[in-house]
């Protein structure tokens, strides 16, 4: 009898929990749209595990589909944000501080 291959869970294309900087905490991050003023949680591309406070995070508002960017220090971490609609992070630009 042959051993079964290990089943690897498939990652969703977007995930909700990431870390900020060197924090050991995985949190859901929330921001406010610069155009319509609505708050929404961020869904990160699979593979992004952390971001820095100086990194530029590009997001798309799920309400008005406006794309804008904020630095990591302008994003708020919540333990639970299920009641807030989700918007996509389109990309993260890592900024090196000297």
> Bridge partners of 78?
28
**Model confidence band, residue 10 (pLDDT cutoffs 50, 70, 90):** very low
More confident residue, 69 or 96: 69
Q: Count CA atoms closer than 13 A to 37's CA, side-chain side.
A: 0
Q: For residue 74, what are its two tokens?
A: 């302008």
**Model confidence band, residue 12 (pLDDT cutoffs 50, 70, 90):** low
Q: For residue 36, what are its two tokens?
A: 């319509």
Tell me the C-alpha distance between 38 and 32, whole Å.
Answer: 6
Report the pLDDT value the prediction gives residue 14, as an integer from 0 to 100. Answer: 84
At 53-81, the pLDDT tens digits run: 999 999 999 999 999 999 999 999 987 66
Q: Largest Cα–Cα distance of the chain, in whole Å?
A: 61
Taking the CA atoms of residue 66, residue 71, residue 73 and residue 75 in that order, the dihedral angle to the nearest 10 degrees is 20
Secondary structure letter of residue 81 according to DSSP? -
**Model confidence band, residue 8 (pLDDT cutoffs 50, 70, 90):** very low
């Amino acid at each position: 009898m042959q051993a079964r291959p290990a089943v690897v869970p498939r990652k969703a294309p977007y995930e909700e929990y990431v870390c900020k900087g060197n924090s050991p905490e995985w949190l859901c991050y929330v921001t406010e749209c610069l155009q319509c003023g609505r708050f929404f949680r961020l869904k990160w591309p699979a593979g992004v595990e952390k971001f820095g406070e100086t990194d530029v995070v590009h997001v798309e508002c799920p309400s008005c589909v406006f794309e804008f960017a904020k630095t990591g220090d302008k994003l708020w971490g919540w333990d639970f944000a299920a009641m807030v609609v989700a918007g996509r992070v389109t990309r993260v630009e890592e900024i090196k501080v000297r």
